[in-house]
Chains A and B, each alone.
Chain A
């Protein structure tokens, strides 16, 4: 029997044709676990889908891969949608994927978790990067949709709480592919011209898809880079988005953001009132202290009777004079004592005392005292002085010795 001989290409093309005949293979969904995931420089993604017994070679071309909202990773369980075709060059068949979906959790959830983990690892959520919100902002930029409940709620609540703050609405789209670049542009623009002291960016509630712009990496990085503090205010209470993690403050809703952004004037009024009362009390206390002091001073005698001072001085003077006198007296006494002692000594030596004991003094004609018999000769006139008088005499004779 003559056998038909095919070329390799012919056989592969034959098989390819057979596969193409099956409509099921043109649009198939396969569940499996990713392994050997590789992104080529061409931008095409190659991987293997496998289960416990079997494996399937898969490819996702660049134009499809660009639409992926999460990053496929080895070990991830997914559903792949696409068509089965033969790759003639190596005779293998592959699944040509157009869509990948994570099994279980949605792709958005996976994308969210992945971006969150990446930015967190980069440190974008760290507390030390959080800026303090101004307690009394002069102006607030609202980067949100110009229509809808969110912007009106924020304007109303800010006006109700703190009407001194100027509100600047920077309208942007908040959903769809244009939303992230518009939000990013507004944040950067607000910073470039320092349009406000505070930015609130967000939107009202919606589906995860609707809120997705606030999970966008570009938006997250713009919020992180903002010099002006940013409050993220997206959706309803339980919705937590990447913008909430990266912002300086997370608000659960746009209304909540308005409450966080400005104080309530009623509380500030109370605070002013209490400062008023405190300052009045303090000054009153000061004044009453002073008046008490004045009163206690006024009862002192010196202020009532001006002569007290002089009287007191006079008493002091008297005391001093007294002291001086007694001091002088003491001095005088001691001098007198010395004088008396010396006087007695002197008295003992006095010639008059000698004369009173019966002695007499002989003076010659010249009035000089005669000390020796040799100083006189018989016939000389002499004067003899007694205690109580004198006598003029003439020497009769002289004799020496006893």
Chain B
């Protein structure tokens, strides 16, 4: 499963699921290990998302064809 394509929420839910499976302890060792590996990858992907996040603030305007246009948010405007 590619963790890149998952949203933060999906990743967190999957992580929760993985940990619960691991804690149940009834899986064969090879399955446990591959779950653990998946969990580790998800954890580092989530951490990376947290570390690298940079807030984006845009102003939304209706374009000439009515579709939305994003402009940089200018603090002075009303």
Contact flag A278-B19 (CB < 8 Å), given A195-B68, A265-B50: yes
Tell me if B58 and A168 are in contact (CB < 8 A): yes
Contact flag A138-B7 (CB < 8 Å), given A169-B58, A278-B23: yes
Contact flag A147-B75 (CB < 8 Å), given A269-B50, A279-B18: yes
How many A residues have CB within 8 A of the partner chain?
A: 42
Interface centre among A141, A173, A286 (most CB of B within 10 A): A286
| Smallest beta-carbon distance B61→chain A, Å | 8
| Interface: B4 (CB within 8 A) | no
The contact string, 1 if C-beta is below 8 Å from chain A, for chain B 45-78, is 0110110011111111010000110100101111
Q: Which residue of A lies closest to B10 (CB)?
A: A136
Tell me if A167 and B55 are in contact (CB < 8 A): yes
Chain A stretch 255-306: residues in CB contact (< 8 A) with chain B: 265, 268-269, 271-272, 275-276, 278-279, 282-283, 285-287, 289-290
Q: Across the interface, which residues of A come within 8 angstroms of B77, CB to CB?
A: 146-147, 171
Q: Across the interface, which residues of B come within 8 angstroms of A170, CB to CB?
A: 59-60
Chain B stretch 1-40: residues in CB contact (< 8 A) with chain A: 7-9, 12, 15-16, 18-19, 22-23, 25, 27, 29, 32-33, 36, 39-40
How many B residues have CB within 8 A of the partner chain?
A: 40
Q: Across the interface, which residues of B come within 8 angstroms of A167, CB to CB?
A: 55-58, 73
Tell me if A166 and B58 are in contact (CB < 8 A): yes
Contact partner, A289, options B25, B47, B55, Cβ 8 Å: B25
Q: Across the interface, which residues of B come within 8 angstroms of A286, CB to CB?
A: 22, 25, 27, 29, 32
Q: Which residue of A lies closest to B56 (CB)?
A: A166
Contact partner, A155, options B8, B57, B60, Cβ 8 Å: B57
Q: Across the interface, which residues of B come within 8 angstroms of A195, CB to CB?
A: 60, 68
Contact flag A268-B50 (CB < 8 Å), given A166-B58, A168-B58, A279-B40: yes
Q: Across the interface, which residues of A come within 8 angstroms of B23, CB to CB?
A: 278, 282
Q: Across the interface, which residues of A come within 8 angstroms of B76, CB to CB?
A: 147
Distance between Cα atoms of A378 and B31 in the complex (Å): 116
Contact flag A275-B49 (CB < 8 Å), given A166-B56, A168-B60, A195-B68: no
| Interface: A317 (CB within 8 A) | no
From A110-118, A156-164, A212-220, the one touching the partner chain is A156-164
Q: Across the interface, which residues of A come within 8 angstroms of B50, CB to CB?
A: 164, 265, 268-269, 272
Tell me if A283 and B33 are in contact (CB < 8 A): yes
| Smallest beta-carbon distance B23→chain A, Å | 5
| Smallest beta-carbon distance A175→chain B, Å | 12
Tell me if B47 and A272 are in contact (CB < 8 A): yes
Q: Across the interface, which residues of A come within 8 angstroms of B55, CB to CB?
A: 155, 158-159, 163, 165-167
Contact partner, A290, options B12, B29, B56, Cβ 8 Å: B29
Give residues in A with beta carbon < 8 Å to B. 134-136, 138, 141, 145-147, 152, 155, 158-159, 162-171, 173, 189, 193, 195, 265, 268-269, 271-272, 275-276, 278-279, 282-283, 285-287, 289-290
Give residues in B with beta carbon < 8 Å to A. 7-9, 12, 15-16, 18-19, 22-23, 25, 27, 29, 32-33, 36, 39-40, 43, 46-47, 49-50, 53-60, 62, 67-68, 70, 73, 75-78
Pick 7 A–B contacts, CB within 8 A, sort by A.
Answer: A147-B76, A165-B55, A166-B56, A169-B58, A195-B68, A282-B36, A283-B33
Please list the 7 inter-chain residue pairs (A to B) with the smallest Cβ-Cβ separation, ordered nearest first: A282-B22, A159-B55, A163-B53, A163-B55, A164-B53, A283-B36, A136-B9
